[in-house]
Amino acid sequence: MAGFVQIIEFRSSRIDEIRALNEQWRETHPDMGPLRITVTADRDRPNTYCSIVEFGSYEEAMRNSEDPATGEWAARMAALCDGEPTFRNLDTILTEVRTDQASTAAV
């Protein structure tokens, strides 16, 4: 397999606190976790977000999930959500990257 992606859909009226929690995680656990995380806001549903979390493999994702530090972070994140998040676990079968345009990153 080419990789593993987990999509987490959640609702929260406390997105700034979630951002702060994620930044704290990156600062205190720089060598742990996924290869890439993209957090998106749903234009059609206020306070609805999706995190697209990319790992090198399913096994890497499971090792990350089993780490007690990840469990603690997940509990803190869930406390900031309005309801239970929804998880999608996806094996990557194709990734295409456009190389004819400059890429940009949004923060």
Domain range spanning residue 52? 3-92
Q: Give the Cβ contact number of residue 91 at 10 Å.
A: 11
> At 107, is the pLDDT very low, low, confident or very high (cuts 50, 70, 90)?
very low
The count of structural domains within the chain is: 1
Q: Are 10 and 51 in contact (CB under 8 A)?
A: yes
Q: Is residue 65 part of a domain?
A: yes
Location of structure tokens 């239970």: 84
Domain annotation covers residue 97: no
Which residue type sits at 29?
H
Give the pLDDT score at 11: 98
Is residue 55 one of the residues assigned to a domain? yes
pLDDT at site 28: 87
pLDDT digits (tens, 9 = 90+) for 53-104: 999 999 999 999 999 999 999 999 999 999 999 999 999 998 888 887 665 5
Q: Which residues in the chain belong to E strands, given as ranges?
A: 3-11, 36-41, 48-55, 86-92
**CATH at 85:** 3.30.70.100
pLDDT band, residue 7 (cuts 50/70/90):
very high
